[in-house]
Structure 1
Amino acid sequence: MTFYDRTEELDALRTAFEAPGHDFFVVYGRRRVGKTALLKEFCTDRPHVYYLVAQEAETRQREKFVERIADRFDDRLPRIEDWPDAFDYLGEKLAAEDAIVVVDEFPYLVEENDSLPSYVQAFVDERLQATNSMLVLCGSSVSVMESEVLAHKSPLYGRRTGQIDLQPFSFAQAREVIDYGFETAIRSYAVTGGTPMYLLLFDYDESLADNIRTRVLSPTAVLYNEPEFLLRTELRSPARYMSILEAIATGHTTPNEISGATNIDPGPLSKYLQTLRRLRLVDREVPVTASSKKSKRSLYRVADEFLRFWFRYVEPHRSSIEEAPELVYEDTIEPDLPTHIGMSFEEICTEAVWAGVRSGVLDRYSTVGRWWFGGDEIDIVGLAAKDDRILLAECKWTSEPVGYSLVEDLREKAERVRWGPETRTERFALFSKSGFVDGLADELDDNWHLFGLDELDRLLSP
């Protein structure tokens, strides 16, 4: 399978390993994001011990760990009684030959023996520091990696020399994989999101519609049951979490709306939402001008494009999909897809704003996000507090060119955004799938930026 991108992460690992002294890296991120592929690519052509932990008895986990060490150093399998013995054995081997040691899915070890972080601490302090080797602990359970490896209370706190919180691909990064034209690439990204596994399951020689039919709507396809599998891997009783994700994906975004749609009382719902946030399946948003800690105007959204697509279109219609997937696509998904894509388009335009800031096409903004109050909402607002400058932008995934009405509407809403002094500098931007009516650009001054798909493509190109 082709390995894509992750240049910065590979460079960080390579630089660390090639520098004098030991290294202890922590790599984590949600499932399917490409952690294992990254580490295997890094280990290629370098001396290494790669151990993928399974969910099995502690004794067998330890036996396999020692077997991997013995295989790597072409050694006879020793008798090992406990984990301190196993790490002493590893230390002996690294004292003679430098290597990379990867423990993938480290949380499974902690699940069987919560003393593992203490054993690793002793290994790092007493053995690893005297070598030029590298230890990498990797895990998909973000909460376990943060609490048992990175947190202040962890025995391993302060030992790491680097960490990588691996994120899904941005749209600009995913373009390397999505072999469609720019507009169709946006539509495809709204289905797969930036999760490498999902991107690579699509066949870009086929149409997007065919990919959805055969790789998402087919009951035999991997993606058909993928979200349910992920939840069952992380949670013992996923039913309520599934109902919450479906509610959010279908437009119930406030706590009251989610509670009403799921019949879950606000108290328990808050705990469920916290768990989903910890698993990085749900994001909490507040208006960009508000404090995330103090604001009560929070909205929730499904954090992954594919999960949002699946809980919007697949989960509510599974019975029908089992009988007639083609009809579900033609009658339910295809007519509503522009609405779904419109939400993804806003995220892609936000990515483009940051790209414009970095390239100098747009002024500098330190904070970018959505804004809403009462019945008003603005898709993108950028804030430059130091310069009392604000950017206000709208994104339209429509079949008609954007005209003067959107300009006037944005100007009116800008007056109701309470931020900065009255003398603040206002900048405006419009993003449109179908371009703009003739003459609009000539009527606007230099405070306005207009981005059609061609301009957006250039902004997001390397």
Structure 2
Amino acid sequence: MTFYNRDDELAALETAFNSPGHDFYVVYGRRRVGKTELLKEFCTDRPHIYYLAAQEAEHRQREKFVEQVADTFDDRVPRIDGWDDAFEYLGDKLTSERHVVVVDEFPYLIAENDSLPSYIQAFVDEQLQHTDSMLVLCGSSVSTMESEVLGHESPLYGRRTGQIDLQPFSFQQARDVITYDLADAIRSYSVTGGTPMYLTLFDYDRTLAENIQTQLLSPTAVLYNEPEFLLRTELRNPARYMSILEAVALGHTTPNEISGATGIDPGPLSKYLQTLRRLRLIDREVPVTASSQKSKRSQYHVADEFLRFWFRYVEPNRSSIEEAPTIVFDGTIEPDLPTHVATTFEDVCQEAVWEAIRRGEFDPYSKIGRWWYGEEEVDIVGLAPDDDRILLAECKWTAEPVGYALVENLRDKAENVRWGPGNREERFALFSRSGFVDGLEEDLDSNWSLFSIDDLDILFSNNNL
């Protein structure tokens, strides 16, 4: 598989490896996010030991680990009785040669022996720190990695020299993979999200409709059951979490709405929501002008475009998909897809604001997000407290060009966004898939910025960096 992006993560690993002394890195993130590809790319052209753990008996895991070490050093496989002996053997080998040692899917080892972090602590303290080698523990179970490796209670706490919480690609990063024109790229991203494996499953020489039907609406396709496998990585009983994710994907965003849609009482629901947030499967959002700790106006959103699409269209229609997938696509998905994509477009436009700031095309804003109060909502609001400056923006994924009505509407909404002094500086921006009516841009002053699809394409182009 082609390796995409991850320049910052590779640079961090390379800097660590090239610095004097030992390094102990922790790399973790959801399934399919590209951890293994990142580490394999990093290990290329470097002396390394790469051990991929499997779900099997402890003694077999240990035997394979020792065999991997012995094979790397062209050594006879020694007799090893426990993990302490295995790591002592590894430590002896590292005294003579500098290596990167990667233990991938580390949670599988912990599942068979929860004392393993203690053995690695001894290895780091007594052997690794006296070498110039690098140990990397990698895992897809976010909860296990955060509790058993990074957590305060872990024997390994405080030993790491760095960590990478690998995230899905942003839309701008995903553009290296998605070769559609920008409008179709946004539609496609609203289906796959930024998970590298999902992105590369699509064939961009085929239409988006063909990709959806082939990769998501076929019971034999990898993505058809993917969310269930993802949840089972983290949760023993995922059924209730599935119902919560489906409710949120279908537009029930407040705790009361989610409780009503799922039948889960508010008390237990708050714990389920906390777990889903910790696993990065949902996000809690408050108005950008409010305090995230104090505000009671919280809303929840599925944190991944692919999961949002799957729980909106696939999970509720499984029986029909099994019988007639084309009818589900033509009758249910395709007519509603613009509504689904409109939410993705808002996120893409928010990326565009940050990119415009980085390029100096916008003045800086320290905080950017959505604002709402009652029925009123502004898609993007940027705050610059030091300069008493506010940015208000709307994003329209419509088939018609944006006209003067939206300008007046946004001006009216600005008066309801209570933030800053009365003489604050107000800037405005409009993002439109279908462009703008003739004469609109000429009639607006310099406080307004208008972005069509073509403008976004230029803004996101790496050639202009």
Same fold (TM over 0.5): yes
Q: Distance in 1 between matches of 2:151 and 2:141?
A: 14
1:144-155 equivalence runs, <5 A = 144-155=144-155
Which secondary structure state, in structure 1, belongs to the residue aligned with residue 261 of structure 2? helix
Which secondary structure state, in structure 2, belongs to the residue aligned with residue 296 of structure 1? coil
Q: CA deviation at 1:237?
A: 1.3
Which secondary structure state, in structure 1, belongs to the residue aligned with residue 138 of structure 2? strand
Q: Distance in 2 between matches of 1:233 and 1:144?
A: 10
| Alignment root-mean-square deviation, CA | 1.1
Partner amino acid, structure 2, of 1:455: D
Partner amino acid, structure 1, of 2:444: L
The answer on 1:38 being equivalent to 2:57 is: no
Query: TM-score by structure 2 length?
Result: 0.98
Report Cα offsets for 1:189-237 as digits up to 9, x if no partner.
Answer: 1110100000000001101110011111111111111111211232111
Q: Distance in 2 between matches of 1:53 and 1:338?
A: 42
Which secondary structure state, in structure 1, belongs to the residue aligned with residue 95 of structure 2? helix
Report Cα offsets for 1:355-379 as digits up to 9, x if no partner.
Answer: 0111111110111111111111111
Q: CA deviation at 1:278?
A: 1.4
1:203-214 equivalence runs, <5 A = 203-214=203-214
Partner amino acid, structure 2, of 1:239: A
1:441-456 equivalence runs, <5 A = 441-456=441-456
Aligned to 1:92: 92
Deviates more, 1:63-72 or 1:389-398: 63-72
Q: CA deviation at 1:155?
A: 2.3
Q: Distance in 2 between matches of 1:113 and 1:368?
A: 45
Aligned length: 462
Aligned to 2:372: 372
Q: Distance in 1 between matches of 2:206 and 2:91?
A: 51
Partner amino acid, structure 2, of 1:92: D
Q: CA deviation at 1:85?
A: 1.0
Which secondary structure state, in structure 1, belongs to the residue aligned with residue 416 of structure 2? coil
Partner amino acid, structure 1, of 2:104: D
Q: Distance in 1 between matches of 2:338 and 2:450?
A: 21
Aligned to 1:423: 423
Q: CA deviation at 1:415?
A: 0.7
Deviates more, 1:92-101 or 1:142-151: 142-151
Aligned to 1:363: 363
Report Cα offsets for 1:332-362 as digits up to 9, x if no partner.
Answer: 0000000000000000001111101111111
Partner amino acid, structure 1, of 2:244: I
1:110-149 equivalence runs, <5 A = 110-149=110-149
Task: Confirm or deny: 8 A CA contact 2:143 2:234 kept in the other structure.
Answer: no
Which secondary structure state, in structure 1, belongs to the residue aligned with residue 125 of structure 2? helix
Q: Distance in 1 between matches of 2:143 and 2:424?
A: 41
Q: CA deviation at 1:143?
A: 2.1
Q: Distance in 2 between matches of 1:362 and 1:111?
A: 50
Task: Confirm or deny: 8 A CA contact 2:141 2:233 kept in the other structure.
Answer: no
Q: Distance in 2 between matches of 1:279 and 1:158?
A: 22
Partner amino acid, structure 2, of 1:323: E
Partner amino acid, structure 1, of 2:62: R
Q: Distance in 1 between matches of 2:175 and 2:234?
A: 30
The answer on 1:221 being equivalent to 2:221 is: yes
1:283-302 equivalence runs, <5 A = 283-302=283-302
Aligned to 2:345: 345
Aligned to 2:325: 325
Q: CA deviation at 1:68?
A: 1.1
Q: Distance in 1 between matches of 2:293 and 2:413?
A: 25
1:46-57 equivalence runs, <5 A = 46-57=46-57
Aligned to 2:26: 26
The unaligned stretches of length 5 or more in structure 2 are none
Partner amino acid, structure 1, of 2:36: T
The unaligned stretches of length 5 or more in structure 1 are none
Q: Distance in 2 between matches of 1:65 and 1:92?
A: 15
Partner amino acid, structure 2, of 1:141: S
Q: CA deviation at 1:134?
A: 0.5
Q: Distance in 2 between matches of 1:48 and 1:11?
A: 17
1:72-91 equivalence runs, <5 A = 72-91=72-91
Q: Distance in 1 between matches of 2:159 and 2:354?
A: 33
Report Cα offsets for 1:61-97 as digits up to 9, x if no partner.
Answer: 2222111111111111111111111110000000111
Deviates more, 1:136-145 or 1:353-362: 136-145
Q: CA deviation at 1:15?
A: 2.0
Q: Distance in 2 between matches of 1:164 and 1:339?
A: 34
Partner amino acid, structure 2, of 1:212: I
Q: Distance in 1 between matches of 2:62 and 2:256?
A: 48
Which secondary structure state, in structure 2, belongs to the residue aligned with residue 236 of structure 1? coil
Partner amino acid, structure 2, of 1:235: L
